[in-house]
Structures are given as structure tokens and as C-alpha cells.
Chains A and B, each alone.
Chain A
């Protein structure tokens, strides 16, 4: 079978249109601070039977035929796309992070997998009709799938949300990322086993054989295979042209892994995902190689895949409000409660646990990939698929604002929240011991700690290395037995010698007290304060403030 010149023309035209609209809408949604995938799915809905097919059925059929050679060519293309998507998802997974994050990541991930799974499985098994099971579907397999579908997370969306909220490099960010990585690994493993369970393979393996091969494959690739890859990569990077050689190697390994898992009766994507993890684990894989392959897949193959989703399904005709709402409720309840409880159980506080719960709730691309594979395998019907896509998009969009809401509590450790009018004094002292003593009085009263204790700590630090910074600023500080940081400020128009590097007297004296067991918080606040006083003009203006309220406002607004 060969495509005619006309069919090739149509095929290329359809791909061009898909890529063009996906990029436009993807970029638009990125500008709106939303995941690009939302725009790409909408592009598919616009080009598919839902909109374009309704407006002009003949043109739709001509450009995106639902049967025949062009359809097969397009399906092959999207199959490669989804394999590559899972390959790069694997590259991002770093299982060593899970180990370094320890109990917190493991319990969050475990509960984030188990709670939605039990909820999804239970409701689907007990109320299959409500969940939209097909007439000829196996209740058990359907329930297994729904449980898995609700328990999966989407690392790329989660990572992007953490980045936008500026908590990527925090303890909380690391826990969420580590938990999502572990979650993904087990989610895809369970899903692959389900595919094995419904007997999708054509090579005559029994379920037990498929299971055995799957586990052996995972163990081999993530142990010996990983070590071998780690030795090959530096050789390729030095001996073969860069980045062509290493990209070639990654794709070859990814496709080989995919071919193997397809052969043993589970989907090709699983092999690509596991090989991706093994390659991504290599310490020799350069950061720019990761970026190149990411750009290549995210900007070409991913949009094509996500647009193709909209081409397959009519989102209006298959929209079932009961299924959509049920899936949404189960998704939120399972993930937020599960992960939140897991995080709380491991020692995080209530607000942090909720941040983790909502952070892990993003399903994004992974849910959609899982859904389309289940649809192709006949596990679910279009109505359920539409419900899963809507859930994936809704959880991805809602994650950032909900996390942000519960993160407010955490902001209490930020400089601008520590500036309080009642903790600002106007001082006329001319010796640093005396102004420090004045500030310590406020701290002692507020923190209910003996003045002598605080004073001794602050002066010990001051005597070992004076805390005058520059631009009329001094930050005497100490670590003491407190839970939250405390800050109070003295404005001294005459200026006091704190031996600042620029020789200027200190006119703004900030007493900073931080918990004794948290070096990083102290450093973070010191760095933040120093950075705010970098511009001398602003500081001069600040010193000239007559009212405390005016001073505080100006302090908070300093860039």
C-alpha cells in the first residue's frame, strides 16, 4: 500500500495546519500563564469533528479523513509522537531525588497513588454505569483503569506550576517533584499491566509471562542498563558529532525499549518511559542535550499528538455532565486528600500538606495519553475519554491558584511580611550597643525571651564580625530558639558606626532573629535585605521618611 501524490499532499497539509494552530494557541495559553497543552487540545477541538467537522463536514473529511491510508499515516505519526513524549517524560524522572527526599516524598507519592486508585476503582466497580462503562466491558478491568487514571500525575505541568509559584527550589517543591516522579513510574507500570491483562499482545504471551517480562525489563534497564548507558554517553559525546550523536543514541534506545515492551504485550510507551529514566539518570547527559530533545519533542511531536486528540472525538456530542462531574470530584478528592494526608503524615503542616495535595493534582498530558490509549484499546468509551480530558485540563489549570492560596501562610517568612510598623523605632542613640539594646527590648517583649539571652547572641555575632553592610544599612542578627523569624528596625538619622564596607554610618538598623536550626532561612533573609538596599538613592529616600507608616510602606515596596 502506498500513498498517492494527492494523499501525501493532504497528509502534509493536515500536519502543517495542526502544527500551525497548535503553536498559535499553545503560545497564547503560555502567555496567559497556562500550560501550552490546553491551547493544543483546543486547537484539536477546533480542527476536529466538534467545530470544523460541524461547520464543514466535507472539508473536514478531506483534510482529516477518519478512515483509509491518510488516517493510518497520521496515526503512525501520533504513535511516534506519544512514544517520544513518554521518552522525554522519563528523561525528567530522577529516582535518586525520591531517595534523597526520603519518607516525605514516598508517603506523599504512595498515598497519592493509593487513595485515588481505591476511590476510582471502588466507585467504578460499584457504580459502573455512573462512570460510563460500555455494555460489553469487563467491570473489573474498567474499574482498574479508572483507578489508575485517577492516580496518575503530570510531572511537566507540576514542574511548571512550581516554577511559576517560585517554590521549585524549596523543600516543598522538591517533595512534590519527587513524589510526582515516583507516582508516574508506578502509574505507568500499573497501566501497562492492565493493558497486558486485557490481552493486547499478538505474540501469544500469557498474562503471567507478560508480567514477568515487564518486571525483568524494568529491573534490568534501571540497574545494569542504566550503568551501561552511563558509560556509553560520555564516549558518544566526545567521539561523535554533538548534539547529533547523542540525540541519535537517545532516540535509538527509546525506540528499542518501546519495541520491546510492545513485543511483550504492554504498550510501546512504557518501554520508552523506562529507557528515558535510565538515560536521564546519567550524570554525563548534558543539560543542553536535555533541552534540545525537549524542544524538539515539545514543539513538534507533542502538539501534533494533542491536536490529534481533538480530531478523534466530538467533544460536544460525547459530553456527559454526570460523568464529567463524577470524574472531577473523584480526581480532586482522591489526589488532594491522598497526597495531602501522605504529606501531613510525613510531618508537614496542614497548609503545606494542602499545597502538596493541590500540586500533585495536575494530570495534564499524562492523563490524556493514558485516556487515548485506553480508548484505542477499547477500555473506555468516548464519554469517559472526554471526561478524562476535561479533568486533565481542569486540574492543570486550577493547580496554581489553589496552591498559591495555601502558600500565603508560607509567605510569613518573607521580608515584606516581617516589616511591621509596631516593630519600628526612631532611635537617637549614637552607640551600636545601645541601639541594639533598644531593638532587643522589642524582640524580648514580643518573643517572650529574656533580653540578656538575645542581647548576648546578637553581640557575640556582632563582635565576631561587624554587621554594617553598605548604603547606611546594618543588620545585626542571631539565631535563637524561636520557630518563626522576627525582625525589628531602628531608624537613626545621625547614623552609627557598624563598620560597613563603604565606610558610611548605618542609619537603618535591622535586627534579624531566625530559628537556630535553620541556616538557610537566615541566609535567605540576609540576602533579601541586602539586595533591597543595593540602590543608594532609594535608601536615602527611605531614611528621609518622617512617619513610621510611610517608612514601612517604602520598605515593602523596595524592589
Chain B
């Protein structure tokens, strides 16, 4: 599924835990592992990096170490692309400070711009365990089909206990359209009907994907797209929240008028699996 996993590693306190998490992923996907470190390569930095790798119990001969220089996010993206990484593991804070979020942190930039899939771990563990609760943000696109299939394969490998597909949908201007000529009951009934229709459609969609081996739960919610599903994953303590990577480059305006996937980037609802 993922033939080469990359790990963006710095000398942060979570470095060792990230290596351990990556080693576990390498095993379950039976893939190669590459560590990407951005910073000046000298004896001191080499020692520090090797120490982290050794302490994590990794075999240095069994992994590739890529050194890079320059702006960390740009250099990681470039190195990951050149090394043919198809799943990049990155550690990230659950929430950045407002200014840092607007003007871009390393992890957020990677989430938005890395051309292949990425897994953003918000609290990597020194004793990693399999992810048990998978929540997937879904629509009916072909790209999302890929996301669901990838997350499903991942969940199967993890022997997950829960696999929930969340479909959130929103109709901007709905209140304006019906607010002055319908009663509360009529409006509630209308929204309930829309939820029911979406649920039926999503059931069909999932049925078409013919996924076997795990029970799939479907949840449809009315509300801001991207917010409702990430909030649902957060409140239900998801281990993995899988989303389809942005189709176009996300910019400052997308952060200012937060929408869709940017809600998950703004505050990580769980470990974020971005499928591209």
C-alpha cells in the first residue's frame, strides 16, 4: 500500500517517539523507511540523529537517511518527492498559535503541499500501539474513493475496532431560502430528509466500493463542511482521521476564511491521514 515511508525528523523531544511510530508503520506496511533531516550535517548533528535512531531501536543499516538544507518545509517536501516517499510521517502540534497558523508552520505547510500522502501524528508515543478507531471524511468524488480504500486497508492491517465514514454537508443560504416561509418543524423535517437522503446515497457509495473485513458505520451531518466531521472525530476520540488532500494549493485566504480540510489543519482532531 505504501512502499516507502518517510519521516521528517528534527531534534525535538518527540523525535524518538516518531522514529518508533515510523518503525511500526514500516513493519505493518512492509515498506522501506527513509528519515529526512533538514539542517547542517556535521559530526555533532550526525551523532545526535544517530543517537535518536539507536535509542528508538532502529537498525541504521535498514533505513535511508536523507540530509537537506534550507527552509525546513520546502526542503522536506523536495527531499520527500525526490526520494519517492508515498507516506510522509510528520509530528505536529494539535493547534498552532494564531499568527504561526496564518503565516505557516513547517507541519502545516507539509500538510498542504506535500504531493503524496502524509500522516500527521499529534502525540507520537514511545510505545506505539495500533490505531483502533478510524474516522473518514467522505464525499462522492473519485479522489475520496481512493481515500476510503486506503484508510480501509490501513484499518484492516491495524485490526481496527471502528471504521466510521462521516459525510457532512451544508447548504449556504438555506435559512435565507426558507427562513421566512416555513415553520420550525418544516425546516427541521427538511434538514432531516436531506440527512436521510445523504445517508442513503453514502450507503450506496460504500456498497459500490465493496469493502470487506470490517464493519462500516456511516454518519451524515448537516453543518459546515470540514468542521462537522473533524469535530465528530475529535469528540469520538478517533485515533486516525482520514481526509482527502486538497485538490488545489491552499493559501492565506483559505486560512482566513477557514473551510473544508483547513478546519482539520487548524486544529488536528486526531492523527491526520491525508491521502493524495
Chain B interface residues (CB < 8 Å from chain A): 98, 140-142, 145, 169, 171-181, 184, 187, 191, 194, 197, 200-201, 204-205, 207-208, 210, 222-225, 227, 231, 248, 253-254, 256-260, 263
Q: Which of A514-547 contact B (CB under 8 A)?
A: 517, 519-520, 522-524, 526-527, 530
Task: Specify the chain B residue showing the minimal Cβ separation from A29.
Answer: B181
B24 nearest CB across to chain A (Å):
32
Please tell me if the beta carbons of A99 and B257 are within 8 angstroms of each other in the complex. yes
A157-168 vs B, CB cutoff 8 Å, 1 = contact: the mask equals: 011101100001
- Roughly how many angstroms separate A414 CA and B62 CA in the complex, as a whole number? 57
By a beta-carbon cutoff of 8 Å, the part of chain A in contact with chain B is 30, 36, 88-89, 91-92, 94-100, 102, 155-156, 158-160, 162-163, 168-169, 174, 177-178, 180-181, 222-223, 227, 281, 283, 287-288, 290-291, 294-295, 298-299, 302, 464-465, 517, 519-520, 522-524, 526-527, 530
Distance (whole angstroms) from the CB of B44 to the closest CB of chain A: 41
Whether B263 contacts A519 by the Cβ 8 Å rule is no
Q: Which of A36, A222, A287, A527 contacts B181 (CB 8 A)?
A: A36
Within 8 Å by CB of B175, from A95, A96, A169, A291, lies A291
CA distance A292 to B200 in the complex (A): 30
Q: Determine the main DSSP class of A at the interface with B.
A: helix
Q: Are A96 and B258 touching (Cβ within 8 A)?
A: yes
State the Cβ distance, A312 to closest chain B Cβ, in Å.
23
Q: How far is the CB of A231 from chain B (nearest CB, A)?
A: 11
Q: Give which listed residue, B180, B222, B260, contacts A295 with CB less than 8 A.
A: B180
A227 touches B98 (CB 8 A): yes
Q: Assuming A155-B176, A287-B222, is B140 touching A99 (CB within 8 A)?
A: no
Whether the pair A294, B175 counts as a contact (CB closer than 8 A) is: yes
- Partner pick for A222 among B201, B222, B256, B259, CB 8 A cutoff: B256
Cβ-defined contact, A291 with B210, below 8 A? no
Nearest CB in chain B: distance from A420 CB, A: 24
Nearest residue in B to A31 (C-beta to C-beta)?
A: B181
Bound-complex Cα distance A223 to B260 (A): 18
By beta carbon, the residue of chain A nearest B256 is A223
The residue from A177, A180, A223, A519 contacting B205, defined by CB atoms under 8 A apart: A519
Contacting pair B257 A281 (CB below 8 A): yes
Q: B263 contacts A100, CB within 8 Å?
A: no
Question: Bound complex: CA of A498 vs CA of B178, how far in Å?
Answer: 43
Question: Are A99 and B180 in contact (CB-based, < 8 A)?
Answer: no
Enumerate chain B residues within 8 angstroms of A464, measured Cβ to Cβ.
210
Q: Which residue of B lies closest to A230 (CB)?
A: B258
Query: A97 touches which one: B142, B145, B259 (CB < 8 A)?
Result: B259
In the bound complex, do residue B184 and residue A523 qualify as a contact, i.e. CB atoms below 8 Å apart? no
A155 touches B175 (CB 8 A): no
User: Which of A30, A181, A222, A227 lies in contact with B172, CB distance below 8 A?
Assistant: A181
Shortest distance between the CB of A461 and any CB in chain B (Å):
8
In the complex, how many angstroms separate the beta carbon of B269 from the nearest chain A beta carbon?
Answer: 13
CA distance A156 to B179 in the complex (A): 9
* Contact of B204 with A283 in the complex, beta carbons under 8 Å: no
Q: In angstroms, how far is the closest chain B Cβ from the Cβ of A153?
A: 12
Of chain A, the residue at the smallest CB distance from B247 is A102
Whether the Cβ atoms of A287 and B191 lie closer than 8 Å is yes
Query: In the complex where A92-B175, A181-B172 touch, is A99 in contact with B142 (Cβ < 8 A)?
Result: no
Find B174's partner among A95, A168, A227 (CB 8 Å cutoff).
A168
Complex CA gap A222/B258 in Å reads 11
What are 13 of the A-B contact pairs (CB < 8 Å)?
Answer: A30-B181, A89-B176, A92-B172, A97-B172, A102-B248, A156-B173, A156-B180, A159-B174, A160-B177, A222-B256, A283-B227, A517-B142, A523-B140
Q: In the complex the two chains form, what is the Cα distance from A463 to B85 in whole Å?
A: 35
Q: Once the chains bind, are A92 and B173 in contact (CB under 8 Å)?
A: yes
> Quick one: which of A95, A156, A299 contacts B177, CB cutoff 8 A?
A156
Given known A-B contacts A517-B142, A523-B201, A523-B204, A168 and B177 have beta carbons under 8 A apart: yes
Cβ B259 vs Cβ A99 within 8 A: yes
Those 5 A-B pairs whose CB atoms lie nearest each other, nearest first: A96-B259, A294-B179, A298-B180, A159-B173, A159-B177
With A291-B175, A294-B180 known as contacts, the answer to whether A465 contacts B260 (CB < 8 A) is no
Bound together, the chains give a CA A158 to CA B253 distance in angstroms of: 26
Is there an interface contact between B176 and A283, defined as CB atoms closer than 8 Å?
A: no
Considering the complex, give the chain A residue whose CB is closest to the CB of B139: A520
List of B residues within 8 angstroms of A530 by Cβ: 204
Contact in complex: A99, B174 (CB < 8 Å) = no
Q: With both chains docked as a complex, state the minimum distance between the C-beta of A161 and any C-beta of chain B, in angstroms.
A: 8
Quick one: given A223-B256, A291-B187, A519-B205, are A160 and B178 in contact (CB under 8 Å)? yes
Asked if residues A168 and B257 are in contact (CB atoms below 8 Å), the reply is: no
| A158 CA / B184 CA spacing, docked (Å) | 21
The distance in angstroms between the C-alpha atoms of A174 and B178, with both chains bound, is 16
Report chain B residues within 8 Å CB of A168: 171, 173-174, 177
Query: In the complex the two chains form, is B200's CB within 8 Å of A527's CB?
Result: yes
- Nearest to B169 among chain A residues (CB) is A169
B141 touches A465 (CB 8 A): no
Q: How far is the CA of A519 from the CA of B142 in the complex (A)?
A: 7
Known: A177-B173, A526-B204. A163 touches B180 (CB 8 A): no
Let me know if B176 and A160 touch, CB within 8 A: yes
Residue among A100, A102, A287, A294 with most chain B CB within 10 A: A100
Closest to B187 in A: A291
| Cβ contact within 8 Å between B172 and A177 | yes
B174: A residues at CB distance < 8 A: 159, 163, 168
Q: Are A36 and B180 in contact (CB under 8 A)?
A: yes
